[in-house]
Amino acid sequence: MRLGYLDDKNGRWKIKDPKLERKVISGKNLAENLTEDDYIFHAIQKEVDMKIGLDIASLAYKKLVDRIVLIAGDSDFVPAAKFARREGIEFILDPMKKHIREDLQEHIDGLKTTLPRAKKS
């Protein structure tokens, strides 16, 4: 796990519920009718992808591992995955059941999700 820093300059308050947000945008609900509980502060972490990419490259270059399992689905990791595989490292991706772009899919050795399936009620 890698932690970046929160970029408070790009953080913003946003409406929690996307359906409610669409109603406000379309004019079906007025912003004045919303309460504090309808909002959440959305801060953006910076530098995390770069740190993980450097970790992947370092592990692969130094031959410290045989396999890397990345829990993400961001196409920013294509160069790191490609490099690791060129260095002979097996690269497995767990996108947490999210869709991944084709350019990332072609540079991994396996795809596996460890999240449990949602229980049907």
Where do the domains of the chain lie, and which CATH numbers do they carry?
5-46 (no CATH), 48-111 (3.40.50.1010)
- Choice among 5-14, 32-41, 59-68, 89-98 with the minimum mean pLDDT: 5-14
Residue 80 has pLDDT above 90, yes or no: yes
Please tell me the distance from the alpha carbon of residue 21 to that of residue 25, in angstroms, as a whole number.
6
Mean pLDDT for 49-73 is 93
Residue 105 has pLDDT above 70, yes or no: yes
Q: How confident is the model at residue 8 (pLDDT cuts 50, 70, 90)?
A: low
Q: How confident is the model at residue 81 (pLDDT cuts 50, 70, 90)?
A: very high
- What is the residue whose two structure tokens read 């772009």? 101
| b/e burial code for range 20-53 (CB count within 10 A of at least 16 → b) | eeeebeeeebeeeebeeebeeeeeeeeebbeebb
- What is the residue whose two structure tokens read 């946003």? 14
Q: How confident is the model at residue 116 (pLDDT cuts 50, 70, 90)?
A: low
